[in-house]
Structure 1
Amino acid sequence: MLENTTIAEEPQRNSKPAWKLPGWAEPLMVMTIIFGAMFVTRKRGNRVFKGRSGVYKSALDGDDTACSSDELLDHDACNEHDAQETLSTTKHLPKIRTLLCLSVKTPNTARFKNNLHSRVLQRFPFLVEMFYWVINYAFYRMTAILSQKLFAGRGIWTVAESHGLAILDFEQHGLLSHIFSRELDIQQWFMHDHQDALTALNKVYAYIHVPGTVGFIAWYYYVAPSHSTFATVRRTMNLTNFMAFTTYVVYPCMPPRLLQKEYGFLDTVRHDDAQSVWMSGKFVNSLAAMPSVHFAYAFAIGCTLIYHSGIPRRKPEYGEVRKSIAWKVWYLVLGVGYPTMILTAIVATANHYFLDALIAAIYVLSAFVSNKVFYVFIPLEDWFLWARAIRVEKPIASTGESFKDSSLYM
């Protein structure tokens, strides 16, 4: 049985709600980050309306520092030579993908390299990364609808509440109960003497998650030592998303702040009006506590920052500029501090249970180990880019071009 968590003297939320960003501010922040990243990572050798003379370089000819998803699966490189031959009679032969020991023929989109939208992507390759995240966001928006249909008979709020109480019960009586059962104590500590700090944490929860993640993707696309390294991080975060979103559909879970008052949690989010514009609206899933994507992103970002510091590695990647001790320490502190701050925020504001964060970390590690499962979608991507309504050639990535040690290429 779940122990009675009612407190003897319930504290009152006395602090006044802090400032709230207008509805247009968050989308403006995200769009500023995206357009800034597009400008910084643009391919300076490409022009949308007036290209340089010379031979076009297909993505299939790129090295590890400038490549697309073509780097992921083997292909018949001989098929690409004809794209450079004006008089070739066999131009644009199909790509031969090797997938699970099978050879798969997919269309060669090089013939669309001069289409206007292809030239736009060649100039601003970061747009491709944003396309992947739009798919993720669309999937998240569908979780609430799918989950409601799945549990229409029992009532999704009843099911979600039972799952939330089951987590509380597990935390109180499990092997790690001395660690996991402290959410209420943490919120009460903030409520009694540190309400202004709790208000700040509400704003952290609301306003850092989406802009911070988009900003990280933009920054790491620019500074990662190779596109292969960046793609590993991106695939890991994307796979974590799909694992978490699938869990939201089959295991709706009520966050602590929405449980009945007898369990002692206070909905400080509603008091502070600390709801992100990205987490509001008709298709928002408010019963998506397990796992915490807030912490999943923060954990993935923290691990990447620690890796980027170079401290866990014996030597830098090929062409990577060595970092000073000061930069290494900075990335290490940031890599530990950021997920710690997010963990404090999600628990103190009663948006998540500790178990949500643990499962999120497990999802991230599992996604890192198995992120190459996305390779199976590369032939589908070839066909998608070939579709009559698309007709576009995927650009060469510009990742890391400004942070290479040029002396290694002399």
Structure 2
Amino acid sequence: MGELSVTSQEGRSEATPSPIVDEAAPAANPKRNTGRRNSGPARMRSLRCPRRPRIWFEVLLVAASYWVYSLVRNAVPEQRTAALRNADWIWSAERYLGIAVEQTVNHAVNSVTWLIVSMNYYYATLHFVVTVCVLVWLFRYHPGRYTAARLALFATTGVALLGYYLYPLAPPRLMSGGHFIDTVLVHHTWGSMASGNFKNMSNQYAAMPSMHIGWSLWCGLTVFALASAPWARILALLYPTLTLVVIVSTANHFWLDALGGMACLTFGYAVSYAWYGSLPHHLPKRVPLPGGSARLACLSAGAPVRTRHPAADAAAGRR
């Protein structure tokens, strides 16, 4: 009986280990030894992976962000003297270089009443309406790219606020002796937060950079890169182009303000690329479920991952 007992113990000691234990073991020891050390980087890598957007969170985030943007923009001191001086300098520089076309466009379009009135309403409304519509479209049809595109938009807007503070600039319509036409006042149209009854609710000397261009170009590039319908891609290119015509025709911006908006958008995309490691349209269209292969690809190769047994995979497939 004793020999049988010893043999039995020896048999167990020589038995082939379970494949399930072998697969799990390499992951167990590193996790036990370096869990605390790697938890921080792993959490950071997880945050940099695209996530499924939640509608309630996104609605609150967009609303709060626009409120903060308006609050900060309007809280920037209205440095009237500096803003007018900067406007005179830009106008003089453009005339010296032979590229001062704003006044000619402003007077020409103002002579066509229906056209300039339409542009007044365009300027007052579409920059917000179209941007929200593109965000909703991304949320609905491109959830995997939504957060990266949204980050680019938010970073663009954030750096624009810095521009408003560092470089106050009066729009052409407020220049003394510039002979520009304030089309909202002349045609008594509703709209511009910088003219008429709304002029005291908005900082009138925050013209550089133009977020009408920054936001419209973000919308145009996003739709052009992701839309499949040719007509949608054409409209995507026309939208920022028409916006440029509108901001100049209504004397709300110099065309150089548009270059400032483009520079801000470039910064916004750079921030998004640095965080996600890719431009938004190069990311997957859909966000995989937690634990999916695409999700795990965001983690480093050395991250502890438990391999599932084939029988468990088969059972999961049947479910």
Q: TM-score, normalised to structure 1's length? A: 0.52
Contact 1:256 1:350 in 2 (8 A): yes
SS of residue paired to 1:274:
coil
Contact 1:136 1:241 in 2 (8 A): no
Residue 193 of structure 2 corresponds to residue 270 of structure 1? no
Contact 1:235 1:372 in 2 (8 A): no
C-alpha change, 1:142 and 1:372, in structure 2 (3 Å) is: same
Q: In the aligned structure 1, how far is the partner of 2:268 from the partner of 2:261?
A: 10
Contact 2:152 2:272 in 1 (8 A): yes
In the TM superposition, 1:31-180 aligns within 5 A as: 96-98=39-41, 125-133=54-62, 134-148=64-78, 156-174=79-97, 177-178=98-99
In the TM superposition, 1:158-237 aligns within 5 A as: 158-174=81-97, 177-178=98-99, 181-192=100-111, 194-224=112-142, 226-227=143-144, 229-237=145-153
C-alpha deviations, 1:174-204, integer Å up to 9, x for none? Answer: 4xx43xx111111111123x22201110010
Contact 2:87 2:169 in 1 (8 A): yes
Q: Which residue of 2 aligns with 1:284?
A: 202
Number of positions where the alignment pairs a residue of Structure 1 with one of Structure 2: 238
Q: Which residue of 2 aligns with 1:257?
A: 173
Q: In the aligned structure 2, how far is the partner of 1:211 from the partner of 1:276?
A: 15
Read off the aligned partner of 2:262 and give its amino acid letter: A
C-alpha deviations, 1:18-77, integer Å up to 9, x for none? Answer: xxxxxxxxxxxxxxxxxxxxxxxxxxxxxxxxxxxxxxxxxxxxxxxxxxxxxxxxxxx9
Read off the aligned partner of 2:107 and give its amino acid letter: Q
Read off the aligned partner of 2:130 and give its amino acid letter: G
Q: In the aligned structure 2, how far is the partner of 1:278 from the partner of 1:373?
A: 36
**Cα distance, 1:276 vs. partner?**
4.9
Question: Radius of gyration: which is bigger?
Answer: 2
C-alpha deviations, 1:346-365, integer Å up to 9, x for none? Answer: 11000111001111112112
**Cα distance, 1:170 vs. partner?**
2.4
C-alpha deviations, 1:217-244, integer Å up to 9, x for none? Answer: 11221112x42x2222111110010111
Superposed CA RMSD in Å reads 3.3
Contact 2:194 2:204 in 1 (8 A): no
Read off the aligned partner of 2:109 and give its amino acid letter: F
- Mark the runs of 5 or more structure 2 residues left unpaired by the alignment: 1-26, 29-35, 47-51, 277-284, 288-316
C-alpha deviations, 1:315-349, integer Å up to 9, x for none? Answer: xxxxxxxx4xxx1x112211111111211111100
Contact 1:298 1:342 in 2 (8 A): yes
Q: Which residue of 2 aligns with 1:357?
A: 258
Read off the aligned partner of 1:201 and give its amino acid letter: M
In the TM superposition, 1:337-356 aligns within 5 A as: 337-356=238-257
Read off the aligned partner of 1:304 and give its amino acid letter: T
In the TM superposition, 1:1-40 aligns within 5 A as: none
SS of residue paired to 1:288:
coil
- Mark the runs of 5 or more structure 1 residues left unpaired by the alignment: 1-76, 79-92, 107-121, 149-155, 310-322, 376-398, 402-409
Contact 1:257 1:351 in 2 (8 A): yes
Read off the aligned partner of 1:340 and give its amino acid letter: T
C-alpha change, 1:274 and 1:186, in structure 2 (3 Å) is: same
Q: Which residue of 2 aligns with 1:330?
A: 231
Q: In the aligned structure 1, how far is the partner of 2:206 from the partner of 2:114?
A: 27
**Cα distance, 1:278 vs. partner?**
10
Percent identity for Structure 1 against Structure 2: 23
Q: TM-score, normalised to structure 2's length? A: 0.66
Q: In the aligned structure 1, how far is the partner of 2:210 from the partner of 2:137?
A: 23
Read off the aligned partner of 1:266 and give its amino acid letter: I
4+ aligned runs moved over 6 Å, structure 1: none
Structure with the higher helix share, 1 or 2:
2
Read off the aligned partner of 2:85 and give its amino acid letter: S
Read off the aligned partner of 1:144 and give its amino acid letter: N
**Cα distance, 1:400 vs. partner?**
5.3
**Cα distance, 1:216 vs. partner?**
1.6
